[in-house]
Chains A and B, each alone.
Chain A
């Protein structure tokens, strides 16, 4: 099938790679505007305190300091999902990453020095750092306008009858799982530049992954019209969900620029990146699941306790996705899921690749293994028995169209030599294998009223095609895949397509980079806009060639007669002729693609995605029973990708996702002590290095999804989702102990072994 295509299915290098390989790519940190000042933020000294007084007079006297601002200089407008987060804190601070004041100065050093001259008088308050303790009646109140520390958000889902399910269970497992804090550690730290033009319009150079949402959020918080805000996205040094929310530093940057009357850049140090950006949402998950005597799942019941931190960013909304792991990863007739979300004085949690799914999948897949053992089935067979199939509608009303999960399970198992007997290995080093699968949206996710993306295709006199897409490139390779799609549809080469995707004044609207949606949604938009352009070209060419439109096609930039391909003309020749003819015309077409999906109702039911992605990872690990050290030897990933549009970039997404999954599973742990990040350096917060990476084998299962562009599904988050779970199951296989908290650190392994 793949040789049908000239651009699809090819290992096309990323279009932006040459610029990135030569140092030419410009990240926000690399940009300097004329007259640009440097902004710095004064962070809170306490995790919880009243602000009694702020004196900025000394700081203002320092030569080179252009402005110093506090909450007093700002309108009363909060940001954040619950509008509970003032860009600069007014009366109190609620975490150590709270913004208290900000300086703009001619150099970063001067701005930094000025911070030390801002005198803040605090009255320290008792803090609370545990979500369960935060809900006790005696707990100090974090947001005084509320009655208690409960975040007023609830994700409650019921399907079938859990009690009935329990009654019909031959075996039930129950556990309390603890998922920890981890952080994105994008190699490029947070950085933006704010600049006002002479008409008072704001230009933000921002690494946002959702520029149109931020345009709106920024407008709301600044009290401006969205049309007065232009977001330009320079090259982005990693995002992974971290650039999904508008953060106070960006709002502060705009205020500084407005007050100073000059452009201002704020660039985080690595220390700030660790301490003052959102984490992945930590969670306590109490979960119960049952199985009947035949090995069929009977019910799942989960209660989730989330620590929002001091403010609500995207973190507390992750149950929306986590719920899917419980309701829809495997077929289960009865489900109950609910949440309790609390404010604490910890730094707040945000979105991170997988969006609650890595946490949920860790629990579900651990319990799948436990149940398989109780019912005496091979975990592989047990999973296949309970897996989704095409035509299924999950308890949440998600319609499974294409589904390659069974094949993914089999291929992952085969790749890891599932049936090899590793028990013969004795001594201190033990080996084991583990499986875990995932279920995730693969065709967008209608969480907003629109899940659309616009595309414009324009072709110039020389046959150069420009795709102007609403979507954003954050390193994942979207612009390359979109160029391939456009080229394929039009019958040109990838190198004939230029992609414009970084300016909200130019590009048409798009929700943004989240929910693994770009290839699917922006891909369909580009494909249809290109198809319209092609139609227009053929209509122009038909009379010139003395043929009917339907008798023509385009290949490799030639318009040819299908019945006799020898009869052809270069398409740019036709375009030029038609452009300069009397009553000339040019090719510009557009399409706004919004997938045929529904928003979920209040009971969290609805078909939110046009298709769903599935996949399995198999891990082989080695555990040193003396030191407790776990090493991942090999990972096999088999994903139902619909269709691999660019296998090289796809492998890159999966390999990179797995690296983050390995970090989550065994290495990374952002340690918070009374709200303070204790390990804010790469030396103490260990992300995988090249030496920690196992061999990775990528298997692509192609189910050719009908709704996807050339059959593709979205997969960008999937690499990270089941990795930790697969490793945990492999650790159990190796040493016979279940670790129910991440990371699976040597201490945890040794402790579990000693209890065995």
Chain B
């Protein structure tokens, strides 16, 4: 199989890699770069577990093929915390009990981070919209919405 080379920036770090063109960004992150925080719940764009920020916007990493990741600026769940301090949305998920098994959490948090970047004080409706493509089997979503809408409330 012919490999292609590409460079991409992940959490501020530039990587030059050579991979099969059919590899997805999700597999690149998990297996080429070794960042396993981003999860694979389906691999077909249906669950949102693989959500990362691509050039600042939330996207399903499992739907992006290697050639399309060329030059992209990616933020994964590992890139949110700064110097060991949880990002406010991560802290809110922890404090509000929005995490159970946690498999959906990285994707949920990235979808929420995208929303909060654009809209720091979302309503419950806006929060729901932002995570409508993220499935969670554990929590019933109630505490996730609580967490997202609370992030910037108590300043």
Q: Give chain A's interface residues, CB within 8 Å of chain B.
A: 11, 13-14, 16-27, 29-30, 184-189, 235-240, 269-270, 474-477, 648-649, 651-652, 655-660, 681-683, 687-691, 693, 696
Contact = CB atoms under 8 A, between A and B. Distances in A.
B47 A682 contact: yes
A21 B95 CA distance: 11
Contacts of A25: 102
Closest 4 pairs between A and B when the two form their complex, measured CB to CB: A23-B37, A20-B102, A475-B101, A659-B140
Contact of B102 (A17, A184, A659): A17
Contacts, number: 171
Contacts of B140: 652, 655-659, 688, 693, 696
Contacts of A656: 100, 137-140
Nearest to A692: B141
24 contacts: A14-B97, A16-B102, A17-B99, A21-B93, A21-B105, A22-B37, A23-B77, A27-B39, A27-B103, A187-B104, A187-B137, A188-B101, A237-B101, A238-B103, A270-B44, A648-B97, A648-B143, A652-B97, A659-B139, A683-B46, A687-B135, A690-B132, A690-B134, A691-B132
B113 to A, nearest CB: 11
B95 A238 contact: no
A18 to B, nearest CB: 6
Interface of A is mostly: loop
Contact of B94 (A17, A29, A235, A681): A17
Contacts of B49: 187
Interface residues of B, number: 52
B122 to A, nearest CB: 13
A25 B103 CA distance: 9
A690 B97 contact: no
A682 B103 contact: no
A362 to B, nearest CB: 19
A652 B102 CA distance: 13
A660 B43 contact: no
B131 A270 contact: no
Interface stretch (B2-10, B53-61, B78-86): B78-86
Contacts of A235: 101-102
B41 A187 contact: yes
A560 to B, nearest CB: 31
Contacts of A648: 96-97, 143
A657 B141 CA distance: 11
A238 B101 CA distance: 5
Nearest to A186: B137
Nearest to B42: A270
B115 to A, nearest CB: 12
A656 B91 CA distance: 21
B54 to A, nearest CB: 17
B132 A22 contact: no
B109 interface: yes
A269 B47 CA distance: 13
B138 to A, nearest CB: 5
